[in-house]
């Protein structure tokens, strides 16, 4: 392994990954890295952590074979190491996946920072904490950032990259290159906010769903059905904005805003809506028009329909619930 | 056509559907009904409404052929009728799909009610208005209910049925049987609330996404990417609750609540969370355990992975954006 500088954005010399925390997310990271032919060393103080980790990787392996393994990929390239220091000191890239608690992560990342070579990137899998806070006690905070995946980490492509006040541009470039090299689609946030993007949306869903459950309006199964048989099928490839744009037919988002703009004032959720200013309206309309990238509405409708039909067939084939 | 009583729940004598309002949703209804071999008569006062309706049905037809047409299904069984009275007076079932405005719908439904035979069900496609309010001016309010689809109506199975104070049980049974007969999955709400279930969730997403856009945190394309490359892919078959249950690994929802319960107090969205009481906690845990229906976590994980892999392949094959 050659010496790397933090401004070296290539991911091709990264061979050994340290994973700190081997719960559901850490196990997902191990599976994804192993499938990409990397060596993984994992550490976790929990009882039976190694056993659970290896069982999780084994359960994920058929999916990884289906996706396609990199040359040399094998589950045996996973090493478990009881001591954090030993795990991180030899790593070329470090994934932190400890419990979601600011105090725990802040202390743990400082400990990783004290034991890893100073140019090695430390990417935290935090689901929504501010990177400026969790990097605060580090000697080399410039290499600390958020690299937030969604579970199952070894199948879903999304990876949110969020830098803190002290994160360096070189570390962000290195992280983007690394995550891309293991088949992910890094999405770099412009601003550091709690919950980032995906969990802002997911948390809004979670809170509204909890209100419906707490108020006795519906069961978990009914609320899940309302999402999975309708809006959920659309969000998986169109996202919320393009879904509404397509819902407006030829009139697109402009028509939707005429039709449903006023409902922002109605109590259709417990979430307060922002003011639909002319500026916000324009940002919406321009945004989705750019996304449609010149494809005609009729073409997108036919392609959307094909996706929805085949996605439902996939679900009918594989999903038992 | 034999005389039908409102307590006759069979849908097999329904042959002619009236659709009042031929915008995006009305056109979707026409396409679904025609594909199921029904006769459709549509009415809409807008200029060029018939032309747009027929073009919309033609654009949907390849999808409907792929799903499979009923015997005798043909786009030519669509009649356009300028006068509402003539359209609804001969119908066996009436779908109202006018603009989403309480005053408009209330007046229109009273007009439909005055012109249709008294036992014929009138199902409004309202996206979130209260049925008790839109049935208020009818002489026969017992046959008025909400039958809320999601777009594209001819592909998505969900159909929320919501009765108002005066809606009769017989009309709800007839509507359930009819919607099932055209391939839908009716979900009957226990309580009349604004936004019903699907749009409570969708509106929470919409409002949070608008906040992110209004605050300049991200573009529409970035917010859409954060949903469609991660959580959106999971919601399409697991829904929000089962997604979190699966995210907890063997520990399921209980583990998730230990891990993420405290984040309900954090500003991860602009939506206020309900108190996570012992009762709500138990309702959550029992709810998802019932949904999992005895399948092992490892089995569900493998099946979930297969869905996610194949859904992404479907999207890569058909979706150009």
pLDDT tens-digit map of B174-194 = 999 999 999 999 999 999 999
Q: Does B234 share its domain with B178?
A: no
Q: Which two tokens stand for residue A298?
A: 């009729």
CA dist., res. A126 & res. A109, Å (int):
11
Domain count, chain B: 2
Please name the helix (run of DSSP H) or strand (run of DSSP E) that holds residue B42, with its range, or none.
Answer: strand B39-43
Q: Does B181 share its domain with B43?
A: yes
The answer to the question of residue A253 being in a domain is yes
* Domain membership of residue A174 as a residue range: 16-188
With CA atoms as reference, report the closest residue to B24 among B49, B7, B61, B4.
Answer: B49
Quote the DSSP letter at residue A128. S
Q: Does B50 share its domain with B152?
A: yes
CB A288 within 8 A of CB B224: no
Provide the pLDDT for residue A250: 86
Q: Which two tokens stand for residue A142?
A: 């410039």
Using the structure block, give the residue that is written with the tokens 């200013």. Answer: A277
* Residues 259 through 298 of chain B touching chain A, CB cutoff 8 Å: 259-260, 262-264, 266-277, 280, 283-284, 287-288, 290-293, 295, 298
Q: Does B177 share its domain with B68?
A: yes
CB B275 within 8 A of CB A258: no
Provide the pLDDT for residue B268: 79
Quote the crossing angle between the two packed helices A231-247 and B220-228, to the nearest 10°. Answer: 160
Of B152, B240, B277, the CB nearest to A305: B152
CB B216 within 8 A of CB A142: no
The answer to the question of residue A255 being in a domain is yes
ipTM reported for the complex surpasses 0.90: yes
Q: Which residues of chain A have pLDDT under 50?
A: 1-9
Q: Does A178 share its domain with A61?
A: yes
Q: Which two tokens stand for residue A155?
A: 């199948």
Q: Does B178 share its domain with B107?
A: yes
Q: Does B183 share its domain with B269?
A: no
CA dist., res. B35 & res. B321, Å (int):
29
Q: Does B171 share its domain with B272?
A: no
Q: Does B155 share its domain with B287?
A: no
Q: Does A34 share its domain with A178?
A: yes
Q: Which residue in A130, A149, A240 has the most chain B C-beta atoms within 10 A of its own C-beta, making it the best mutation to test that interface?
A: A240
Subunit contact A204:B207, Cβ cutoff 8 A: yes
Q: Does A133 share its domain with A278?
A: no
Q: Does A53 share its domain with A164?
A: yes
Q: Is B180 on the interface with A (CB under 8 A)?
A: no
CA dist., res. A208 & res. A200, Å (int):
12
What's the average pLDDT block by block, 10 residues per block, for chain B (321 residues)?
Answer: 42 88 96 98 97 95 95 96 96 96 97 97 97 98 98 96 98 98 97 95 94 93 96 95 91 89 82 88 92 91 94 94 91
Q: Which residue in B130, B205, B285, B309 has the most chain A C-beta atoms within 10 A of its own C-beta, making it the best mutation to test that interface?
A: B205
* Residues 240 through 259 of chain A touching chain B, CB cutoff 8 Å: 240-242, 244, 246-250, 259
Any idea what the Cα angle at residue A211 is, between residues A205 and A214, rounded to 5°? 135
CA dist., res. B168 & res. A242, Å (int):
38
The answer to the question of residue B222 being in a domain is no
Contacts of A99 in chain B (CB under 8 A): 259
Chain B's closest residue to A99, CA to CA, is B259
The answer to the question of residue B4 being in a domain is no
Contacts of A189 in chain B (CB under 8 A): 217-218
CA dist., res. B291 & res. A223, Å (int):
12
* Å between B124 CA and nearest CA of chain A: 16
């Amino acid at each position: 392994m050659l010496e790397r500088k933090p401004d070296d954005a290539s991911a091709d010399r990264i061979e050994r990954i340290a994973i700190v925390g081997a719960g559901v997310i850490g196990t997902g990271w191990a599976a994804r890295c192993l499938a990409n032919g990397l060596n993984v060393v994992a550490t976790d103080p929990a009882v039976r952590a190694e056993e659970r980790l290896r069982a999780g990787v084994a359960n994920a392996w058929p999916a990884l074979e289906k996706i396609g393994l990199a040359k040399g990929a094998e589950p045996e390239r996973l090493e478990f190491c009881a001591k954090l220091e030993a795990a991180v000191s030899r790593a070329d890239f470090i994934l932190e996946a400890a419990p979601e608690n600011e105090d725990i992560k802040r202390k743990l990342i400082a400990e990783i920072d004290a034991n890893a070579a100073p140019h090695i990137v430390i990417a935290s899998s935090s689901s929504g904490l501010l990177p400026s806070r969790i990097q605060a006690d580090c000697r080399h905070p410039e290499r600390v950032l958020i690299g937030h995946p969604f579970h199952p980490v070894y199948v879903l492509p999304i990876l949110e990259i969020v830098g803190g006040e002290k994160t360096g541009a070189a570390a962000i470039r290195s992280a983007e290159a690394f995550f891309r090299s293991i088949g992910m689609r890094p999405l770099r946030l412009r601003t550091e906010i709690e919950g980032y993007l995906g969990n802002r949306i997911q948390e809004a869903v979670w809170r509204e769903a909890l209100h419906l459950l707490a108020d006795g309006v519906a069961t978990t199964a009914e609320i899940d059905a309302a999402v999975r048989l309708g809006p959920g099928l659309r969000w998986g490839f169109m996202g919320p904005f393009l879904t509404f744009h397509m819902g407006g037919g030829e009139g697109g988002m402009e028509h939707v805003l005429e039709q449903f703009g006023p409902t922002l004032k109605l109590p259709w959720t417990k979430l307060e809506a922002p003011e639909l200013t002319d500026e916000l309206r324009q940002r919406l309309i321009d945004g989705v028009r750019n996304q449609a990238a010149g494809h005609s509405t009729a073409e997108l409708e036919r392609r959307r329909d094909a996706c929805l039909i085949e996605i439902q067939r996939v679900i009918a084939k594989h999903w038992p619930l």
